[in-house]
Amino acid sequence: MKKYILCALLLFSGISASRASLNTLIQKPADWTVIKRDFGPLLQIDSIPQDQLFDYLHFLEENRGSDSSYTRKIDMAGVYLLLSDPATARDLLIEIESKFPGDYHVAAHLGTAYELLGKLDSALFWTKKAVNIDPDARQGSGWIHIMILNYRIAKEKNPQYLSGSSALMLDFGTTDLPSNPYNLNIEKVRNELAYQLRERLSYIRPPDTLMGMLLFDFANLVALSDQAPQALWYYEAARDFGFVSELLDARVERIEEILAKDPEAHLSKFAGEEVDASGEGIQVYVLAGIIALLAVAGVWLLLRKGRNNR
């Protein structure tokens, strides 16, 4: 817990946080100073000092007429996103879209801009469009962004929606050690979720229950990768972001017990025990497992359609 709090203080102090990822930009100055910050043992977050962002924006604005390519304007919008000005970014992107429709970066940036503006339906529309154009962009993690937006939209309509479960509809069982009942490609999903976490952790601060849910999923994936100490760190991070779950508590307790006896223990050698929980969190978690296949199937069809259209 103390290690997590120290890391969070280091992460969210000093430089003003940008509300978008550095991957927002198509072209980046070679002489930029990129500040790398660790968030636990497995995630690293990049940030750029704001004075460099302002300098780059000034350069782009001065030279916007000298480049016939619209990529310069797209990067201008990207810098506005990094400078926490999604409204200006949106207006510029809409102008670009009207002249050069169908560009992945424009659609993806519009999805981000609308999400930051709180217009979730528009964010979902443009994010789906971006994934349809290029399903493999952002390391194939676009489906996670879609699931996050679906969750946020549903949560606005019903505050109790999946409050103790997975926003991504991932099912890791109901035992005190995570399982993989639907035979997910653990490494693939973990890498995709790590990509989205690195983007969102650059500007989302605790408490944030949704981020806690995503970190809980990540911790489960790490545990299933047989990295017990690292999984424990991210379980604690999920808790400190405000995610409350009897299943989370049970997994932290069990892994701590295992590591106390053998710090090098492999979780795959241990059998999980069913958690005796009467709370709503476990019931909702089971419900998430029932509808997970439907949700994943919908995203899969979207990705397949995008690949067929290319």
pLDDT in tens, 87-98: 999 999 999 999
pLDDT score of 30 more than 80: no
208, 282: one domain: yes
pLDDT tens by residue, 47-73: 888 999 999 999 888 876 555 468 889
How sure is the predictor about 242, in pLDDT bands with cuts at 50, 70 and 90?
Answer: very high
User: What is the percent of the chain where pLDDT is above 70?
Assistant: 78
**Domain annotation covers residue 143:** no
Phi and psi at residue 41, to the nearest 5°: -80, -10
> What pLDDT does 10 receive?
35
Give yes or no for a contact between 79 and 63, defined as CB atoms under 8 angstroms apart.
Answer: no
Residues 94 and 164 reside in one and the same domain:
no
Please state, rounded to an integer, the average pLDDT across all residues of the chain.
Answer: 85
Verify that 237 and 298 share a domain, yes or no.
yes
The residue among 99, 134, 169 that closes a domain is 134
User: Where does the pLDDT of residue 157 fall: very low under 50, low under 70, confident under 90, or very high at 90 and above?
Assistant: very high
pLDDT for 8 equals 42
Residue 169's pLDDT is: 93
In the predicted model, is pLDDT for residue 86 greater than 90? yes
User: What domain count does the chain have?
Assistant: 2
80, 102, 134: which is the final residue of a domain? 134
More confident residue, 130 or 277: 130
H helices of the chain, where?
A: 2-11, 50-62, 71-82, 86-99, 104-116, 120-133, 137-140, 142-157, 186-200, 209-224, 228-240, 246-261, 280-309
DSSP 131: H
Residues 202 and 300 both lie in one domain: yes
pLDDT computed for residue 74 by the predictor: 92
Range 54-57 contact pairs with CB under 8 angstroms and sequence separation of 24 or more: 54/83, 56/29, 56/32, 57/83
Domain for residue 104, yes or no? yes
Tokens 């207006």, located at residue: 91
- Is-contact 161 281, C-beta < 8 A? no
pTM (two decimals): 0.82
Evaluate if residue 114 carries a pLDDT over 80: yes
Alpha carbon 212 to chain centroid, angstroms: 11
Nearest one of 45, 112, 31, 36 to 74, comparing CA atoms = 112
Q: Report if residue 148 sits inside a domain.
A: no
Backbone angles phi, psi at 45, to 5 degrees: -115, 130
State the pLDDT confidence band at 276, using cuts at 50, 70 and 90.
Answer: confident
Same domain, 87 and 177: no
Q: What is the pLDDT of residue 12?
A: 38
Quote the pLDDT of residue 285. 47
CATH code for the domain in which residue 85 is found: 1.25.40.10
Q: Are residues 175 and 84 in the same domain?
A: no
- The pLDDT-based confidence of 203 (bands split at 50, 70, 90) is confident
**Residues 22 and 126 grouped into a single domain:** yes
Confidence at residue 76, expressed as pLDDT on a 0 to 100 scale:
93
Q: Which whole number is the average pLDDT over 30-55?
A: 90
| Nearest alpha-carbon partner for 293 in 159, 218, 183 | 183
Q: Point out which residues pair with 140 in neighbouring strands.
A: none
Do residues 242 and 106 share a domain?
A: no
Domain span including residue 191: 158-309
Residue 57 lies in a domain: yes
Range scoring the smallest mean pLDDT among 7-16, 131-140, 214-223: 7-16
Q: Is 7 part of a structural domain of the chain?
A: no
Averaged pLDDT for residues 258-263: 96
pLDDT class for 33, splitting at 50, 70, 90?
confident
User: Is 30 within the bounds of a domain?
Assistant: yes
* More confident site: 249 or 13: 249
DSSP bridge partners of 37: 45
Going 73 to 78 to 82 to 84, the CA torsion angle's sign is positive
Spatial distance between the Cα atoms of 55 and 247, rounded to a whole number of angstroms: 48
